Amino acid sequence: MALLEQTDVAVYEQVVVLVSCALSVLGSVLVISTFALWSDLRTTPRKLLVFLSIADLLSAVSYSYGVYKVFSDNTWDCVTQGAVSTFSNTSSFFWTMAIAVYLYILIVKSSQRLADSLVLYFHLISWGVPMAITVAAVSLQKIGYDASEVSVGWCWISIEEDDHVLWMLLTGKIWELLAYVILPVLYILIKIHIRKAHAALSEYRPILARNRLSHSIPAMADRKLTLIPIIFIALRIWSTVRFMLLLTGSPAGQNPVLVILHGIGNTFQGAANCIMFVLCTRPVRARLAARLCCRSTDTRSNSDVTSRHTDHTHSLSHTSKRTVSHTGVEESKDEV
């Protein structure tokens, strides 16, 4: 197959995508750090989110190197970067689907034991399958320069290979397309179940108010985690569009706007998760702000810090009670 004309990556496109990579690295580190700092936030859903953040962190770092270099040949660092991004990107797909499956079993099937028992299999699949695919692709010399036809400067599957479409599917696109189908179905089923649970609790509030066990499933409903599929699709769709345009041979795949959207979509996952599950989650945000505030104000006395922490704890407790009173459903401890 003749080598396609390289898609030019302008300097401003590089800058935008590099900023997206930097934000994703920062966001992933923040998700991991908050999990490590506060033991009461170490729920299983957040643990899965941490594994997703590790994959997204690797993706952002590898993509940033590729965007910075804008490869033009099958050099050793092109292949290395392509291998790392292939593994981490595919792993991110699997962890995203693993979180959705976990939440579905936990909330809809009401089986925390079954959901927790799957975590080991999530690790085996989400790390093992991407590693096997990547090793096979590297061993067969399929990873390399792709003329930025389905990337933004970084390397992936060599565009010169006759079976490059097959390997693009195996190393990412087939899992991406499956996720577009599986994730919305699980997400809709979870939301329907939560809506029905809220309606039932509201109707029988006088009875259920005396039974703490009746609150257990809604309390586990980490609602913001169900937004991960939406974030995933909104970010990844541009990569899929460019892949489809490559298959049809359309020059529209070189459109600068589409190239930028593709670059941001592939690199912003870590930042998006941080915004949703750290910055937009009140208890986590308040703790983080308090910690930063304490570090920046050396003159503050220990007693003053303790007093403020106590006031904050009482405020969260009061807010939690008010939420229970209003909805009839106990929210999860950390609101995810």
Provide DSSP, 245-268.
HHHHT-GGGG-HHHHHHHHHHHH-
Alpha carbon distance 11, 9 (integer Å)? 7
Sites in the chain below the pLDDT cut of 50: 1-3, 208, 210, 212-222, 298-310, 312-336
What is the distance, to the nearest Å, from the Cα of residue 134 to the centroid of all Cα atoms in its chain? 20
Confidence at residue 223, expressed as pLDDT on a 0 to 100 scale = 57
Q: Which residues pair with 144 in a beta bridge?
A: 156
49-101 pLDDT per residue, tens: 999 999 999 999 999 999 998 888 888 999 999 999 999 999 999 999 998 89
3-state SS of 129-150 is: HHHHHHHHHHHCCCEECCCCCC
- Provide the pLDDT for residue 306: 46
Which residues touch 282 (CB under 8 Å, ≥6 apart)?
316, 319, 335
- The pLDDT score that the predictor gives to residue 327 is 29
The CA distance from 282 to 164, in Å, is 46
Look at residue 283 in the predicted model and tell me its pLDDT.
76
CB 58 within 8 A of CB 25: no
**Superfamily name with CATH number, domain 11-327:** Rhodopsin 7-helix transmembrane proteins (1.20.1070.10)
- What is the value of pTM for the model shown? 0.79
Distances (CA, A) of 37 to 24, 58, 275, 312, 315: 20, 21, 18, 17, 21
Instruction: Write down the pLDDT at residue 37.
Output: 86
**C-alpha closest to that of 82 among 101, 66, 60:** 66
> What was the pLDDT predicted at 318?
45
Length of the chain: 336
pLDDT at position 150 is 86
Helix (H) or strand (E) holding 157: strand 156-157
Q: What pLDDT does residue 184 have?
A: 86
